[in-house]
Amino acid sequence: AVVSAQCTGSSGINAEYGDPEDFAELSRRIVKKLKNYQTDDGYNSFIRDLIPELCSEMTSDEIKKVSNPLVNLTYEKSRQEKEAKKKAQQASSKKSSLNTQKKQTDNRSDFLLNEYKSMDNFDDYDDFDDFM
């Protein structure tokens, strides 16, 4: 069966489609056109409504073949989001850890400096006074 797609305007979708290569080209053109609207408010609901409408005449096996890449994409996106969140948390905790370590080092340095300064006050200490 040959599918004729006629769209008005500058969509770039004006051809007849019959074989898989033609549909692959149609798919590329549609995706290219629709990606321009990804940030629009109605885009997500449009896609949610479009996919079931396009699949309504398919068999359940054909619909599974359509849904599998979406499920895989969902898992992949979820994994990427978790990794990004984990990296952000690690960067945040690493930064706070470095600040804490710096404060601890500063405190130790201050303590040692004060101890060293207080050692100067032992000029009047006599080792023999403490003998037995």
pLDDT at residue 88 is higher than 60:
yes
Amino acid at the residue 106? D
- Write the pLDDT tens digit of every residue in 25-45: 999 999 999 999 999 999 999
Tell me how far apart the 2 most distant CA atoms of the chain are, in Å.
113
Q: Which residues contact 2 (CB under 8 A, 6 or more apart)?
A: 16, 17, 18
Using CA atoms, how far residue 88 sits from 13, 23, 128, in Å, is: 43, 41, 62
Q: Tell me the pLDDT band of 83, cut-offs 50, 70 and 90.
A: very high
The residue that leads in pLDDT, 93 or 121, is 93
Give pLDDT, residue 66. Answer: 93
Give pLDDT, residue 68. Answer: 95
- Indicate the pTM of the whole model: 0.52
What DSSP character marks residue 35?
A: G
> What gap in Å lies between CA 84 and CA 78, rounded to an integer?
10
Give pLDDT, residue 2. Answer: 46
Mean residue pLDDT across the chain = 78
Give pLDDT, residue 72. Answer: 95
pLDDT at residue 10 is higher than 50:
no
Closest by Cα among 32, 28, 23 to 5: 23
> What gap in Å lies between CA 55 and CA 68, rounded to an integer?
13
